[in-house]
Amino acid sequence: MSSLSTRFYTLPRINTLSRFAAIKAEIRPFRYYRYPRNIFLTTRKMASIPTIKLNHGGVEIPVIGYGLGTAHFKRAGDVALNPAIITATQTALSSGFTHLDGAEVYGNETELGVAISSASPPVPRSSLFITTKIYSAISSPSEALAVSLKKLQVDYVDLYLLHAPFWDEKEKGITIEEAWKELEGLQEKGLVKAIGVSNFLVEHLERIRKVAKIQPAVNQIEYHPYLQNPELKAYHKQHNIVTAVYGPLIPITKAAPGPLDSVIQELEKKYNKSATQILLRWTIDDGNVAITTSSKEWRIKEALEVAGFKLDEEDVEKIRIVGKEKRHRVFWTKEIQD
């Protein structure tokens, strides 16, 4: 892995982009951050990002990915190209991220495609792990993927997910089982390397298991110390499904104050790492793939620093135990009743 660079890479002049001003992304203030910001902007050798082998052939997924949701999410109907999203994604690429996590409903697959195709220095397609998801266009997964590939400017994606199981099957004219069979066909055609799901519960995974020739490789869910869901995790382990995690920083961004506050502060001192790094490392040491995001270079590089250390098992377990003292879900609260 090449050394981190302090340079910002910019797009060549594109007429479409020149019409739009960059939009400053709103990032929640970081409650626990104590280090000077330039600590993460120095040039240094970064530890390589480990991978987890999926149950689909030789496909391997990096344990940390850059997410195009949350801060980069675009409202439905917003077709204007957003330079801020492109720049942030290019910063992630130039900083060392190779795992990019997008989705049809995020509305920014075009920006992701532009960022990849115009990255400087160029990033070989074979070095990237690109995820996208289908939900609003679920009626025809094949057509939806064709649109996504065109926007992303690639011939295939590494991971294609059913974004959630909560669509009206009568309205959309397709069941979970039928949608899954279409994804299997897309994988057989080589348009996707691996297939999986997101926000699925055990009952939904069982519907797929009963009809599948190819079992889901991944289930991407909201997961953090305040939302551990041991039953679902046990099911994943039993069926060799990798747990990918969004919202790993919720205990410090949306659920503070909480019982983990003092624990995280202690571990910050012990490891000389930020609260963000402690929680991301806990997510990985708990056996998951962590998806995180930011528009700021220092925070992007801060996230990648987690490849350089591990938590002691006793600290992983301490976070797990104390985290169970509070329950906090942020996403899909109407569809999922805890």
Model pLDDT, residue 225: 98
Compute the residue count for the chain.
338
Does residue 122 lie in a domain region? yes
Write the CA distances from 161 to 2, 133, 150, 210, integer angstroms: 30, 5, 17, 18
- Do 228 and 205 form a contact (C-beta atoms < 8 A)? no
For residue 215, the enclosing domain spans: 56-254+289-309
Does residue 336 lie in a domain region? no
Q: Return d(Cα 145, Cα 124) in angstroms, integer.
A: 21
Of 281, 247, 248, whose CA–CA distance to 70 is shortest?
Answer: 247
Omega within 30 of 0 (cis) for the link into 165: no
Model pLDDT, residue 66: 98
Does residue 168 lie in a domain region? yes
**Position 45 confidence tier, pLDDT thresholds 50, 70, 90:** low
**Position 46 confidence tier, pLDDT thresholds 50, 70, 90:** low
- For 192, the 3-state DSSP assignment is strand
Q: What is the mean pLDDT of the chain?
A: 88
Q: Is the pLDDT of residue 5 over 50?
A: no
Q: Is the pLDDT of residue 271 over 50?
A: yes
Domain CATH number, residue 297: 3.20.20.100
- Do 230 and 321 form a contact (C-beta atoms < 8 A)? no
Choice among 74-83, 111-120, 212-221, 231-240 with the minimum mean pLDDT:
74-83
- For 314, the 3-state DSSP assignment is helix
Does residue 40 lie in a domain region? no
- For 100, the 3-state DSSP assignment is strand
CA angle 108, 112, 114 (to 5 degrees): 115
- Do 295 and 70 form a contact (C-beta atoms < 8 A)? no
Residues 303-330 have a mean pLDDT of: 97
What is 37-66 written as a DSSP string?
Answer: GGGGSS--PPPPPPEEE-SSTT-EEESEEE
Q: Return d(Cα 95, Cα 204) in angstroms, integer.
A: 37
Q: Dihedral, CA atoms, 69, 71, 77, 80, nearest 10 degrees? A: -110
Residues 187-202 have a mean pLDDT of: 98
Write the CA distances from 203 to 165, 209, 210, 223, 336, integer angstroms: 10, 10, 11, 18, 12
Does residue 114 lie in a domain region? yes
Residues 207-218 have a mean pLDDT of: 97
Q: Return d(Cα 229, Cα 232) in angstroms, integer.
A: 6
**Can you list the positions of beta strands (E) in 206-275?**
218-222, 242-246
Choice among 43-52, 62-71, 129-138, 199-208 with the minimum mean pLDDT:
43-52
pLDDT tens digit sequence for 63-108: 999 999 977 877 777 778 999 999 999 999 999 999 999 999 999 9
What are the backbone dihedrals phi and psi of residue 322, each rounded to the nearest 5 degrees, phi first?
A: -65, -35
Known binding-site positions: 163
Q: Looking at the 3D structure of the chain, how many domains does it have?
A: 1
Cβ contacts of 208 within 8 Å, gap of 6 or more: 176, 177, 180, 197, 200, 215, 216
Annotated catalytic residues are 106
Element (H, E) at 133: strand 129-134
* Residues 162-185 as b or e (16 or more Cβ within 10 Å = b): bbbbebeeeebebebeebbbbbeb
Residues 181-206 have a mean pLDDT of: 98
Model pLDDT, residue 62: 98
* Residues 103-118 as b or e (16 or more Cβ within 10 Å = b): bbbbbbbbbbbbbbeb
Q: Which amino acid is at 115?
A: A
Does residue 165 lie in a domain region? yes
Does residue 84 lie in a domain region? yes
**What are the percentages of helix, strand and coil residues in the chain, rounded to 5?**
40, 15, 45
Known binding-site positions for substrate: 163
